[in-house]
Amino acid sequence: MSQLDEKQRKFVDENPYVGIATTLRADGSPHSTVVWVEVENGKVSFNTARGRVKERNLARDPRASLLVIDPNNPYKWVSISGPAALTEEGADPQIDKLAKKYIGKDEYPWHSPDEQRVKVLIEPEKVSSSGFDDEQ
């Protein structure tokens, strides 16, 4: 199994750079959207809600890819793919933590009582990256 090296982990976890998450529709075709991301125990994680397209896709077929790109340097990015696990455990604290990371708010401002948040954890089975070679 491949995994993120320390530079890649820091890049994804410590910068407020969004990820492009791709899941598979029922017919197997790819569907891409933008997500907030972090790394948890070596897995790349984002947050969604029950019933959303990507949640339904992953519940059916766990295979996902996620690419995080530096907005200041489009030649610096990390792309991972692997199976995703879905859990409600810790999903509410996570969305608040991501709101802090990405928009500087202590709480996710769009919480809805009708919505069950879901934490997605992708195992980085395959990892590729660009722009890390010439780094100190």
Kindly state the DSSP code that residue 81 receives in the 8-state scheme: E
Report, in Å, the least distance between residue 89 CB and its own copies: 26
Q: Are 53 and 29 in contact (CB under 8 A)?
A: no
Question: For its own copies, which is the closer residue by CB, 90 or 101?
Answer: 101
Question: For its own copies, which is the closer residue by CB, 88 or 105?
Answer: 105
**Subset of residues 1 to 20 that bind its own copies, contact rule: CB under 8 A:** 17-18, 20
Does 29 engage in binding with its own copies (CB under 8 A)? yes
Q: Are 47 and 66 in contact (CB under 8 A)?
A: no
The percent helix, strand, coil of the chain (3-state, each to 5) is 20, 40, 35
**Taking contact as CB under 8 A, which single stretch among the options 7-15, 41-49, 92-100, 125-133 is the one that binds its own copies?**
125-133
C-beta neighbour count of 53 within 10 angstroms = 12
CA distance 53 to 17: 22
**Subset of residues 34 to 73 that bind its own copies, contact rule: CB under 8 A:** 34, 63-67, 69, 71-72
Contacting positions for its own copies (CB under 8 A): 17-18, 20, 22-24, 28-34, 63-67, 69, 71-72, 74-75, 77, 79, 81, 126, 128, 130
